Amino acid sequence: MEVSGVHNPSPTPDETTEPYRWRWLILVVMIVAEIMDLLDASIVNVAGPDLEKSLGAGSVGLQWVIGGYALTLGAGLVLGGRLGDRHGRRRMFLMGLAAFTTCSLLCAIAPNIGSLIAFRLLQGTAGAILLPQGLGLLRENFSGPELTKVFAVFGPVLGLGGIVGPVLGGFLIEGDFFGLGWRSVFLVNLPIGIAALIVAARFVPKKTGDRAVRVDMAGAALVVVSCALLVLPLNQGQEEGWPLWTWLSMAASAIGFVLFALHQRRAAAAGREPLVTPGLLRKPAFTVGLGGIALFFGGLIGSQLVLTLFLQIGHRFTAGEAGLGNLPLAVGTAIGGAVSGAFLADRIGRKVLQIGPLVQLAGAAVLWCELDGLDAASFSIWDIVPGVAAAGVGAGLVIAALFSFILAAVDDDEIGSASGVLSAVQAVGGSIGVAVFGSVFFARAKTGDFTGGFHRALIVQAGLLVVFLAITFLLPRKGRPEEEQHGINPETTVDGTGTGTGTGTEQHVTA
């Protein structure tokens, strides 16, 4: 799941003041908005064959429909938080929700794959305006023990949203209600978004922003351009045979991110407000942790996509069957998260982040052996359930604890900025994972070797897990105690699934 951080969040209300009467409706609206994001991050995973039949979407087009949304979402999250600081979170929340709902309609009526990709990029941009406002609005309207209860509700509900995405998508596509097919996965947002917009406009209290806050548009532009220069060649490279421009583009992306870091330091030195607190970039545990998040969620979301493609394209599963085929992974992730959150993280500290990838590697090894012995004529999802479920348990062990361990290296006044950056890296990492794993799988799938494509994806995932495992030794031994996070559970400050479990699962993780 993906609970986006807010830069410099407002302090919680004074506990001596009268609580806002309709504050619990605000929680409902925030949860609805977050679930809409989770659904859109994961629900499209099962729409591949239908998009190919309806719009002629090839492998690259499918990767852009899925990964393009996460790209613009991640690239704009930190900027979205700053816009809320300046212009007021209620105003930006309403604007983002209206834009997100409108883009969902545009996606549903897209006449061709090019326009669908463009509308998905716009939808991700709208999500980047919408999502960062949620945490700030809750902090403005809840305090003390109530705030703890709010985040206790937030996490499980959003985790469920990540799990439901592919299942709901498969149900809608296979049901083909009113002959809408894949278009219904976007239309489902319309009644939800309109209802949430009406409730939010009526019950979220007005509060002006701080006009003294300056928005670093140059820094935001550097982030967007650098992300695009990285994801574009990863999506197009396999199709075009990796020409010179793809390598030059990726090199330019690396230069762009370095320029962004330098620009942030210069802005702070000049007394201006940067998008990212420069002190964060001087903390080795935080910067190394960013790499860990990108690796982990890139591997998680990319492998989930490959699982769905293997079932639908390789073994002709319907959209509904492919959605249900994701359940072993989702259930395993939920179990791993529950065990990690309730028992392991507090007792064994950083070791839980090392056990998790080892369990995932074991699951990948089991899945490799299961694929080797497959009989295509009699294949069913039960043939690969043990390996997929084990990989899910390992992912859940990591997701439940990863962010809190990285935030342990962050000072209290940096948590808002840090959580926004982490959420952004999670989303962009997922987009890169879609591009890389999609290219690896389709390179073999085009020859009809779907099992070979899955095998190659498992090799890539294993490599990412090994590097992630090495990175965990550079993280703090213990996560920051909850009381040091101003009463907010660090595991829910930023999404750990999912974003989602980001079954798309990010969760934004996806599970």
pLDDT-derived band at 244, boundaries 50, 70, 90: very high
What is the reported pTM?
0.76
Least confidently predicted of 6-10, 247-251, 460-464? 6-10
Burial class (CB in 10 A: 0-12, 13-18, 19+), 405: buried
Q: What confidence score (pLDDT) does residue 98 get?
A: 95
Q: What is the mean pLDDT of residues 92-115?
A: 93
Query: What are the residue ranges spanned by the domains of the chain?
Result: 23-504
* CA neighbor of 32 nearest in space, from 120, 116, 93: 93
Q: How far is CA 238 from CA 59, 162, 235, 244, 446, in A?
A: 10, 29, 7, 12, 12
Share of the chain above pLDDT 90, in %: 21
Sign of CA dihedral 228, 229, 230, 232: positive
Longest dimension (CA), the chain: 68
Number of neighbouring beta carbons within 10 Å of residue 284: 11
Whether residue 488 has pLDDT greater than 50: no
String of DSSP letters for 307-329: HHHIIIIIT---HHHHHHHTHHH
**Token pair for 409:** 């290296």
- Helix extents (H) in 241-283: 244-269, 278-281
331 Cβ contact list (under 8 Å, min separation 6) = 163, 389, 392
Q: What confidence score (pLDDT) does residue 503 get?
A: 35
The angle at the Cα of 348, spanning 345 to 349, to the nearest 5 degrees, equals 60
Residue 502 has, within 13 A of its CA and on its CB side, a CA count of 41
Q: What confidence score (pLDDT) does residue 430 get?
A: 85
* Four-point Cα dihedral 40, 184, 204, 407, nearest 10: -10
Q: What is the mean pLDDT of residues 384-402?
A: 86
Burial class (CB in 10 A: 0-12, 13-18, 19+), 381: middle
Number of neighbouring beta carbons within 10 Å of residue 489: 16
Q: What is the mean pLDDT of residues 48-52?
A: 80
**Token pair for 70:** 């996460």
Gap between the Cα atoms of 54 and 86, Å rounded: 43
- Owner of token pair 């007005």: 206
Gap between the Cα atoms of 52 and 58, Å rounded: 6
**Identity of the residue numbered 290:** L
Gap between the Cα atoms of 404 and 314, Å rounded: 38
Q: What is the mean pLDDT of residues 101-114?
A: 93
pLDDT-derived band at 161, boundaries 50, 70, 90: low
The answer to whether residues 454 and 249 touch, using CB atoms and an 8 Å cutoff, is no
Axis-axis angle for helices 133-141, 59-87 (nearest 10): 40
313 Cβ contact list (under 8 Å, min separation 6) = 48, 49, 445, 450
| Superfamily (CATH) of domain 23-504 | MFS general substrate transporter like domains (1.20.1250.20)
Q: What is the pLDDT of residues 302-320, one digit of tens each?
A: 888 899 889 888 888 888 8
Q: What confidence score (pLDDT) does residue 154 get?
A: 59
pLDDT-derived band at 249, boundaries 50, 70, 90: very high
Gap between the Cα atoms of 364 and 150, Å rounded: 36
315 Cβ contact list (under 8 Å, min separation 6) = 376, 379, 450
Q: What is the pLDDT of residues 427-466, one digit of tens each?
A: 888 888 888 898 899 888 888 889 899 999 999 999 999 9
